[in-house]
């Protein structure tokens, strides 16, 4: 089980009412459709997976306690742990459902990858080291039709999810710092 993460409203939250219900949020790595979330603890690897449009993304979901409805906006970010600068992020509206055996907790519908964020990570055009480095993953859950808001942070280390071979070489090449178009043509 994931380590407890502090949940609190983020500073960018636009107040919808005078009442905010603080949600408990546990970040998770979406491994595959119809598979349980891999709950994340400090220092865990988080997988980079091929995106249909090319490149590699990080699929992030969360378990949430305290929701009054089932529709939320989930925003996932990778932050530099030293400067706290946001390096990459993605957000979307999703539908949550109760976790089997834990009805007080809800999570995305794990039958579809469309119900988790897809943080665009590679190609890595910046000079930052992504693979094997420690990054702070921030997950913000904002209840769309209710007052619920929660944030959790956990340090993770992005890693290519592929077994050895050309697919892993492609991921590693695209995720190296300072990517330029055509750089990985030989990796295919």
- The answer, yes or no, to whether residue 7 has pLDDT greater than 90, is no
Element (H, E) at 160: strand 148-160
pLDDT at position 4, please?
Answer: 38
Q: What is the mean pLDDT of residues 39-57?
A: 96
3-state secondary structure 12-39: CCCCCCCCCEECEEEEEECCCCCCCCEE
Q: Which of 3-7, 16-20, 107-111, 121-125 has the lowest mean pLDDT?
A: 3-7
Do the Cβ atoms of 45 and 157 come closer than 8 Å?
Answer: yes
Q: What is the mean pLDDT of residues 89-116?
A: 96
pLDDT at position 14, please?
Answer: 52
| 117-159 tens-digit pLDDT | 999 999 999 999 999 999 999 999 999 999 999 999 999 999 9
- The answer, yes or no, to whether residue 5 has pLDDT greater than 90, is no
Q: What is the distance between the alpha carbons of residues 112 and 85, in angstroms, rounded to a whole number?
A: 30
Contacts of 187 (CB under 8 A, 6+ apart): 166, 169, 170, 172, 173
The CATH number of 21-187, from 2.70.50, 1.10.3470, 2.60.40, 1.20.120, is 2.70.50
Rounded to 5 degrees, what are φ and ψ at 67?
A: -70, 140
């Amino acid at each position: 089980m994931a380590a407890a993460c502090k949940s609190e409203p983020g500073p960018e939250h636009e107040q919808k009412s005078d009442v905010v219900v603080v949600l408990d949020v546990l970040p998770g790595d979406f491994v595959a459709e119809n598979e349980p979330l891999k709950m994340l603890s400090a220092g865990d690897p988080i997988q980079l997976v091929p995106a249909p449009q090319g490149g590699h993304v990080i699929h992030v979901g969360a378990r949430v306690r305290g929701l009054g409805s089932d529709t939320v906006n989930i925003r996932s970010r990778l932050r530099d742990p030293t400067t706290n600068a946001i390096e990459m992020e993605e957000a979307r509206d999703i539908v949550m459902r109760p976790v089997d055996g834990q009805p007080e907790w809800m999570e995305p519908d794990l039958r579809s990858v469309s119900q988790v964020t897809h943080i665009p990570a590679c190609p890595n055009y910046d000079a930052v080291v992504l693979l094997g480095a420690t990054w702070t993953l921030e997950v913000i859950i904002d209840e769309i039709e209710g007052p619920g808001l929660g944030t959790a942070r956990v340090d993770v280390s992005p890693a290519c999810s592929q077994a050895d071979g050309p697919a892993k070489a492609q991921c590693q090449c695209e995720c190296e710092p300072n990517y330029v178009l055509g750089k990985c043509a030989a990796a295919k």
